[in-house]
């Protein structure tokens, strides 16, 4: 019976996370972000849409099959974000600070679009880059 209770609790916790795997992303100064992993087209499309609060130690790591140019259209992203495009070895190739939030009623021509090259993209709370003095060329560490 105890085993069944643990399995039910695990199921509830995974459902609460939307079935996302978790990973940690370590910044050059040693700060650790806990990131949900978006590794399917459905999870990538949803991203952090409709999230109302993102603690400064959390984020989302988007995982792609290969390095390429990625475009992120920020419709229905209710929080300001810092967005980092990362090479296969975790080097920041492009970063955007304080990408402004949008709503369902934001006109499409006013919705921010960010673009960068890499195999991974990290979205974190706005101010992360400034707080941790991150810049292009810095390397973030994570395991998938």
How many Cα atoms occupy the beta-carbon half-sphere of 64 within 13 Å?
A: 20
Q: pLDDT > 90: what percent of the chain?
A: 86
The per-residue pLDDT for 19 is 84
pLDDT in tens, 49-104: 999 999 999 999 999 999 999 999 999 999 999 999 999 999 999 999 999 999 99
Residue 5 has pLDDT above 90, yes or no: no
62 in a structural domain: yes
4 in a structural domain: no
The per-residue pLDDT for 11 is 36
Query: Chain-centre distance of CA 130, in angstroms?
Result: 17
Return d(Cα 113, Cα 71) in angstroms, integer: 7
The per-residue pLDDT for 1 is 43
Which of the pair, 43 or 1, is modelled with greater confidence? 43
Domain count, the chain: 1
Q: Let me know how long the chain is.
A: 144
The per-residue pLDDT for 110 is 95
* Cα–Cα distances in angstroms (integers) from residue 87 to residues 48, 56, 107, 131, in the given order: 21, 23, 32, 22
Report the SS3 class of residue 119: strand
15 in a structural domain: no
Looking up residue 32, the CATH number of its domain turns out to be 2.60.120.1140
10 in a structural domain: no
Boundaries of domain holding 104: 20-142
91 in a structural domain: yes
Give the position of tokens 């079935």. Answer: 19
6 in a structural domain: no
103 in a structural domain: yes
1 in a structural domain: no
């Amino acid at each position: 019976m105890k085993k069944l209770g643990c399995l039910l609790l695990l199921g509830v916790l995974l459902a609460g996370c939307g079935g996302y795997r978790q990973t940690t992303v370590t910044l050059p100064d040693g700060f650790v972000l806990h990131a949900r992993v978006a590794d399917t087209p459905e999870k990538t499309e949803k991203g952090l849409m409709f999230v109302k609060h993102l603690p400064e130690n959390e984020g989302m790591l988007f995982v792609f099959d290969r390095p390429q140019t990625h475009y992120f259209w920020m419709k229905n992203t209710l929080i300001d974000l810092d967005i980092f495009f990362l090479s296969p070895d975790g080097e920041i190739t492009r970063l955007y600070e304080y990408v402004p939030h949008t709503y369902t009623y934001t006109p499409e021509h006013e919705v921010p679009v960010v673009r960068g090259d890499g195999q991974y993209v990290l979205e974190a709370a706005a101010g992360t880059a400034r707080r941790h003095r991150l810049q292009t060329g810095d390397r973030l560490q994570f395991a998938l």
